[in-house]
Amino acid sequence: MLLLNPGPVTLTERVRRSMLQPDLCHRESEFYDLQDEARTRLLAIHDLDPAQWAAVLMTASGTAAVESMVAALVPEAGRVLVVENGVYGERIAQICARYRVQHERVVGSWMTAPDLEEIEERLDLAGTGRFTHLAVVHHETTTGRLNDLPALSQVCRARGVKLLVDGVSSFGAEAIDFADPALTAVAATANKCLHGVPGAAFVIVRRAALSAAVSRTFYLDLMRLAQLQDQRGTPFTPAVHVYYALVEALREYAEQGGRPVRYARYAALAEQVRTGLAAFGIEAVLAPRKSSVVLRA
């Protein structure tokens, strides 16, 4: 079976076989070695300092990582402006509503980029209280659009607003500027651009934001997960074999040259798909410069 969606992806034999390693109890040091390696390698993708950033793992799909991020990092008195131009932006707003996180939505058409002017106006509007956070999907998989993270980040930076990113379908391939002080957390998953198997997700979060956070969820409590993982622990039973696959996929990723190489490979494949379909008279929904390299709609 060849999977042509942007994740889960067709595994390499190496990653598939890695799941056949010995059974491990998650209370043994061998598991914590595995967990440590996954966390270290996730930060290494963007060369992040572990004193400033934490990679927090969870046994779940990508939505759980987004949920964990939103439910923890927006304080009781905080307020989020959610950018919506597709299904996954809508999902962030649904998560906010479910946890009663104070939020408003900037709703755009699926076919258009987020309206930066409107976002600036909404952020600047006093009255019901200032927004503390902006939440956005980096690659809106609904249409394949790559939302303009640098521009959105600049808008946030100028106003001291923190940026929360759903990077589920972009992390590992598209560029993300973690040096940007507005960027607070990115939620992502093992089974898209990293080529692991479904069942492991994670949030890359600034430690400063983590220390000030209070989670609204028990199982997906980002701080508790981070704290225990930092101490070579885990609150619950993780999907050990899925973690084997994640670590193997991350080793393979690094050996192949990391993010620039994966980006280049996807860009070449995306162009091949676009030109191949164009030959049949099938046009792309978005121009390549508006689209991620991960998906051609």
Ligand X SMILES: Cc1ncc(COP(=O)(O)O)c(C=O)c1O
Contacts with ligand X by CB under 6 A lie at 61-63, 66, 88, 137, 141, 166, 168-169, 189
Write the DSSP assignment of 120-163 as a string of letters.
HHHHH--SS----EEEEESEETTTTEE--HHHHHHHHHTTT-EE
Tell me how many helices (H) and strands (E) the chain has. Answer: 10, 9
Q: Residue of minimal CB distance from ligand X?
A: 62
Residue 279: CB minimum distance to ligand X, A = 28
Name the residue nearer to ligand X (CB basis): 68 or 169.
169
φ, ψ at 162 (rounded to 5°): -90, 140
- Return the number of the residue (24 or 96) whose C-beta is nearest ligand X: 96
Q: How far apart are CB 285 and ligand X at their closest, in Å?
A: 16
Q: State which residue, 24 or 68, has the beta carbon closest to ligand X.
A: 68
Cβ-proximal residues to 286 (8 Å cutoff; 6+ apart), any chain = 143, 144, 145, 297
Please, what is the minimum distance in Å from the beta carbon of residue 87 to ligand X? 8
Identify the three-state secondary structure at position 13.
Answer: helix
Q: Which is nearer to ligand X, 24 or 58 (CB)?
A: 58
Both tokens assigned to 272: 């091949």
CA proximity to 115, closest of 130, 125, 105: 105
24 vs 263 by CB, closer to ligand X: 263
Closest to 189 in 3D by CA, of 71, 75, 294? 294
Q: Least distance in Å: CB of 193 to ligand X?
A: 11
Instruction: Give 35 or 63: the residue with its C-beta nearer to ligand X.
Output: 63
**Would you state the structure tokens that stand for residue 66, as one six-digit string?**
């987004």
Residue 181 exposure: Cα atoms within 13 Å on the Cβ side? 5
Closest approach, Cβ 63 to ligand X, in A, equals 3
Q: Hey, how many other C-beta atoms are within 10 angstroms of the C-beta on 283?
A: 8
CB of 19 to ligand X, least distance (A): 18
Q: Which is nearer to ligand X, 66 or 293 (CB)?
A: 66
Q: How far is the CB of 46 from ligand X (least distance, A)?
A: 18
